[in-house]
Structure 1
Amino acid sequence: MAAVPKQTTMAIKSYKNQAQMLVKNYLLADPFAPYTSILGGILACKVVSLGYFFSDLAMTLWQYPALGGIEYVIHHLLSGTAVAYSMFTGEAQLYTYMVLISEVTTPEIHLRWYLDTAGMKRSTAYLINGVVIFIGWLIARVLLFGYMFYHVYLHYDQVIKMHAFGFVLVFGVPSALGILNLMWFGKIIKGLAKTLAKRRSWTKELDSEN
């Protein structure tokens, strides 16, 4: 393994020292800067999430029911309301982010639609995407929701101190979304099983032809 030139090492140390000075003398010099950046990031995340829910809801209603049935409307309305409440009141921050984590499955769902529309149901990409959806859904929309209810149970003494509307949201929104997630998870399992069965039949057909 070739040794790193001394000049390069000194340059790296110089950049490192400059970065440390920047953080120490500017970013951390003001005690409000770290908190402002964190709060700003949280607010930006919620604003983006809120924009996504309502823009997607608008498209769903505009093309109803081509892009989704009433369950999608309910999902987006409840999610958007919960995010907006958390953003404007500061309550239920943790539970809001737990629910938002479940949206990590959204890109895979969209990819499935694109692959289906492109006529690639027989492709390996479609199968892999289906497996990823199954695993992601199980973790982010089933197990995580179960843990969230357990967390609410452990900290019920704090949850009960919330405003009445927030208290209702903490129990109502995850419960409704949890039911929808289980319904969709059942469809995902059936769809994945159907895809695997078809793939086995296609493989047998190819083997018989050869």
Structure 2
Amino acid sequence: MAVSKHTVMTMKSYQHQAENLLKNHLLADTAVPYTAIITGIVICRLIYDLTQLLSALYFNKCYSGLNRLQRIEWNNRGMSTVHAFFIAAMSLYFVYWSDLYADYQTTGAITFRNSTLSTFTLGVSVGYFIADLAMILWLYPSLGGIEYVVHHSLSGIAVAYAMFSGEGQLYTYMVLISEVTTPEINMRWFLDTVGLKRSPAYLINGIVIFLAWLVARILLFVYMFFHVYLHYDQVIQMHAFGYFLVFVVPSVLAVMNLMWFGKILMGLKKTLTKKK
């Protein structure tokens, strides 16, 4: 059936209005952070519900046997896994592949460089931290103890500052690369919950966690601090609060990472001993 000229013009008019709304309001410089945060929260809710739906359809035998709190944590970990894949991939892109923060660029100090995409990406992550922290506090301590509250609070504040101010986004992305370890941690919980703690998959998962944690949460933090040292003349130009965050937040997270790494190492050693 032929489409009338009036219909085509009406569709183009709606398309033009939608593009203007996106460009002039939702993605305007002043609105990007707020749009991104709301987007992040909405996406978290959608993924939480989608995890619940897919789990009931494809993993019903395991999922139906969980109690209420376990189902909530199951869905929550599905949400955090998707966020981890997203933010880790974007962080790797900005830090290692994008030329936004490259030393050869002459667009000013790297501590002040940002773009609409880098700011929007951080906003989505802030939305996740808000949603996840709200769930942790709501069900405290079922989804995590005080260390999770501290981790999410510090991370959320640091990411939000980098998003709103445009300062220190490079170092924020370096720290966010550490989210690459989250899917493995969540998989370990899933395997344990469904009774596969003694399976080969559980052992392999433990080894992957050890290696990923060593690279992304230990060695990468060393590299970040070394990068700060090399570019200290640019870091010192930041606002006092941003300067404070660059040193304090990664330092606190690094200490927590070392503590957790010790537990991972002991757990892996215990598992390997049992296997022998």
Same structural fold, with TM-score higher than 0.5 when normalized by the shorter chain:
yes
Query: Aligned partners of 1:52 and 1:189: how far apart in 2?
Result: 29
Give the C-alpha shift of residue 150 in structure 1: 0.8
SS for the counterpart of 2:115 is: helix
Q: TM-score, normalised by structure 2?
A: 0.57
Does 2:173 match 1:97?
A: yes
Paired position in structure 1 for 2:36 = none
Alpha-carbon RMSD: 1.2
Does 2:203 match 1:145?
A: no
Q: Is the 8 A contact 2:184 2:208 kept in 1?
A: yes
Residue deviations 1:15-52, cap 9 Å, x none? xxxxxxxxxxxxxxxxxxxxxxx934323321221122
Paired position in structure 1 for 2:260 = 184
Q: Report matched runs for 1:1-210 at 5 Å.
A: 39-200=115-276
SS for the counterpart of 1:122 is: coil
Q: How many equivalent residue pairs?
A: 163
Query: Aligned partners of 2:166 and 2:203: how far apart in 1?
Result: 41
Amino acid at match of 2:119: L
Bigger CA radius of gyration: 1
Query: Aligned partners of 1:129 and 1:150: how far apart in 2?
Result: 30
Query: Aligned partners of 1:96 and 1:171: how far apart in 2?
Result: 11
Q: Which runs of 4+ in 1 moved over 4 A?
A: none
Give the C-alpha shift of residue 57 in structure 1: 1.1
Query: Aligned partners of 2:275 and 2:121: how far apart in 1?
Result: 40
Amino acid at match of 1:178: A
Q: Using the TM superposition, name which of 50-59 and 144-153 deviates more.
A: 50-59
Give the C-alpha shift of residue 63 in structure 1: 1.7
Q: TM-score, normalised by structure 1?
A: 0.75
Paired position in structure 2 for 1:15 = none
Query: Aligned partners of 2:203 and 2:234: how far apart in 1?
Result: 44
Give the C-alpha shift of residue 70 in structure 1: 0.8
Paired position in structure 1 for 2:68 = none
- Identify unmatched segments of 5+ residues in structure 1: 1-37, 201-210
Query: Aligned partners of 2:127 and 2:201: how far apart in 1?
Result: 30
Query: Aligned partners of 2:188 and 2:154: how far apart in 1?
Result: 24
Paired position in structure 2 for 1:206 = none
- Identify unmatched segments of 5+ residues in structure 2: 1-113
SS for the counterpart of 2:176 is: helix
Q: Is the 8 A contact 2:178 2:217 kept in 1?
A: yes
Query: Aligned partners of 2:178 and 2:226: how far apart in 1?
Result: 17
SS for the counterpart of 1:194 is: helix
Amino acid at match of 1:79: S
Residue deviations 1:142-199, cap 9 Å, x none? 0000111111111111111100100100001000000000000000001111111122
Residue deviations 1:64-86, cap 9 Å, x none? 11221111111100101111000
Query: Aligned partners of 1:118 and 1:77: how far apart in 2?
Result: 30
